[in-house]
Structure 1
């Protein structure tokens, strides 16, 4: 299940709680258009060289994202508000990809922070 936190939520407390629970918290920050969002994911998640900076490559990379064995991965997209305001179709595409991966993987959870 994808967790959505608004601009005025206690996002940092949420992330601290996940870390306290032992989750492998991976934070991707920002993006204001397709190119910058794809770059934010590539950089924030240290995606492999084969990452092609397109939607299919992002989906494949998230499917293959590994964490320590037996430790849940919490994928956090922080700063999603800028993209939602500037380019709603791209924002919705990112959300669809994140929700798809979240549904496919038992060991991965997604948090989207719109601040």
Structure 2
């Protein structure tokens, strides 16, 4: 499941509520272009050394994210508006990847914040 929040939404309250509910909240911030967003995911999620900074590698790395047993992961991609404005194709690709992984995993939910 993917939740989309806009620039006028209460994204910080949403994140705080997820933490309060006991979710393993992981926030990735920004990215102005393909390289920048891939680097943001690599650093924000502390992806493994084998991460190749391409779309396929991002998909594989997200599939392999570990979480404590029984604790849902909430992956928050925050400040995504810049990429959406500059490169809509790259933005749509990231959203597609996030939605694919969320559909494959029962323990992972996604929030995209376009502020």
Cα offset, 1:67, TM superposition? 1.0
Pairwise CA RMSD = 0.3
Structure 2: distance between partners of 1:44 and 1:70: 22
Task: Give the TM-score, by structure 1 length.
Answer: 0.99
After superposition, the C-alpha distances for 1:46-92 in whole angstroms (9 at most, x for unaligned) are: 00000000000000000000111110000000000000000000000
CA drift of 1:95 comes to: 0.4
The TM-score, its normalising length taken from structure 2, stands at: 0.99
Who is 1:72 aligned against? 72
Aligned partner of 2:101 in structure 1 is 101
Equivalence for 1:61: 61
**Number of residue pairs matched?**
115
Unaligned runs of 5+ in 2: none
TM alignment of 1:9-28, pairs within 5 A: 9-28=9-28
Distance of 1:94 and 1:75 partners within structure 2: 12
Q: Distance in 2 between matches of 1:18 and 1:99?
A: 19
Which stretches of structure 1, 4 residues or longer, exceed 6 Å deviation after superposition? none
